[in-house]
Structure 1
Amino acid sequence: MSTPKIALVTGGSRGLGKNMALALAKKGISVVLTYHSQQAEAQSVVAEIEALGQKAVALQLNAAAVSGFADFYARATAALQATFGTTRFDFLINNAGTSLNSAIAETTEAQFDEMLNIHLRGVYFLTQKALPLLNDGGRIINITSAVTRTSYHGTSAYAIMKGAVDVFTRYLALELGPRRITANSVAPGAVFGGGAMPDTPEMRAFVAQATALGRVAEPNDIGGVVAFLCSDEAGWVNGQRLELTGGMVL
């Protein structure tokens, strides 16, 4: 019998992160999910995962506060031992994040630093500190964005950080190759129900008309791809950026 696999999903209490966590559970993977402030929502996701027959645990994490990462991994190690009987895990999904819509001329240093801390510094150092706990043969999946390829008014600071994470992903793939750990980024377009996009009829109509498939994206369009990248079938996918937009702005 194979050893059960475990995934760590940041920002797993709602939106895309929740969908990813549930998609992983449906593939037979147990989940450690993090939340920033929505503990009740996170525990609800844990209950849904347990109802699918997998184990799960939720831990608080401020993904923008690098100074708290050592404490987080100490708590994660204790939770892994208590819940799963191990101190290691197999898959790291860096999903936690916030959005920002601000023109370059109006973006403040505080807003820029917020994007930097949660989307780049946080991802870099949370991943760095995960490496001793990540099993050889594991996977790292970084959630980036389609706005690294196409430009939209007001998204510069956010897009810059996500573009840097795409580059970081390639370096992870290179440096972790000897441990057979793959690293890939998944770049969703506008996703409604994911917690970041303003969900209005006008915005849905704009996105649908710009997309080759003629509709908007939902979280279910993303979570299954993340789960696939954690499967045996995706073992040869490495150092890649997978854009999930349904063919937007082709």
Structure 2
Amino acid sequence: MTSTPHPITLITGGSRGLGAQMALALARDGHDIVLTYREAASAADAVVAQIQALGRRAQALRLDVADAASFAGFAARLRDGLADWGAKTLDGLINNAGAGAHASFAETTPAQFDAMVAIHLRGPFFLTQALLPLLATGERTGARVLNISSGLARFTLPGYSAYAAMKGAVEVLGRYQAKELAARGIRVNTLAPGAIATDFGGGAVRDNADVARFVASVTALGRVGEAEDIGGAAATLMRRDAGWITGQRIEASGGMFL
């Protein structure tokens, strides 16, 4: 069961971009937030301060999602952090942390490929596994898990074969998690953003006017996505009254390449 009056959600990679906006959107929805960062402690602290200004509790923990060997230790630190709030379980987990790799199929190196596996597939797989004892259970009160994929798992743009292949694998993983964790009352869904104006991938969508115009031209709603668009979508899927949704892939792309 939920151990505090307010749900507690963990968001990996919550110090910037989509993760930060998800954290803020969920805080506005009444969630207390634990967010992770890899290097940018000051940025993570700034997001924590914004969440606290909204009247919600927040804390930041360091985590490298590519280092699966560290997950047991992270789970122990998370358990201690929850205990500081008088809580024992998480009500939500968003596997968001990521990094891009832009290279043609012919030029992708084994090192680039292995990095994508570690960050985008092995990380969410084994982090969720390590956190299972901390995820709330129950027919009505089970935790929500949201894995972040990409529109690139549906449509194709040159240069993203390794990244998109991992996101396709995450979408399959989510369906298996939804099936196998249903007996615990845990719901699992996948959110696939389209092209978003953040610093991801070098900030091309945000900073390159030609790229932005191209994205807008192939998007039904006629503009590039903003991080706030994804924050709102994530908050919607994590709500308690969305509990009849599980095993689904939801794309938030403004209708890109329809």
TM-score w.r.t. length of structure 1: 0.97
Identify the match of residue 168 of structure 2 among 156, 160, 163. Answer: 163
Counterpart residue identity of residue 157, structure 2: Y
Quick one: which amino acid aligns to residue 234 of structure 2? V
Verify the 8 A CA contact 2:98 2:120 in the aligned structure 1. Answer: yes
1:88 aligns with 2:96: no
Give the letter aligned to residue 32 of structure 1.
V
Distance in structure 1 (CA, Å) of the matches to 2:101 and 2:197 = 16
Matched, 1:205 2:213: yes
CA distance in 2 between partners of 1:200 and 1:168 (Å):
33
Residues 20, 47 of structure 2: 8 Å contact kept? yes
Q: Is the 8 A contact 1:16 1:195 kept in 2?
A: no
SS of the residue corresponding to residue 247 of structure 1 reads coil
Alpha carbons 1:194, 1:219 under 8 Å: kept: no
The aligned runs of 1:31-42 (5 Å cut-off) are 31-42=33-44
The counterpart of 1:19, out of the listed 18, 21, 28, is 21
- Could you tell me which runs of 5 or more consecutive residues in structure 1 were left unpaired when the two chains were aligned: none
Distance 1:53 1:242 in 2: 30
Say how many residue pairs are matched. 249
Q: Cα distance, 1:104 vs. partner?
A: 1.0
RMSD: 1.2
Residues of 2 paired with 1:236 and 1:19: CA distance? 25
Q: Does residue 174 of structure 1 match 2:179?
A: yes
**2:113 match: secondary structure:** helix
TM-score by structure 2 length?
0.94
Q: Secondary structure at the match of 1:135?
A: coil
Distance 1:184 1:218 in 2: 21
Matched, 1:145 2:150: yes
Q: Shift of the alpha carbon at 1:79?
A: 1.2
TM-aligned CA deviation for residue 85 of structure 1: 1.1
One-letter amino acid of the structure 2 residue matched with residue 93 of structure 1: I
Q: Which structure 1 residue ranges, 4+ long, deviate > 4 Å from structure 2?
A: none
Post-superposition offset of 1:233? 2.3
Amino acid at match of 1:248: M
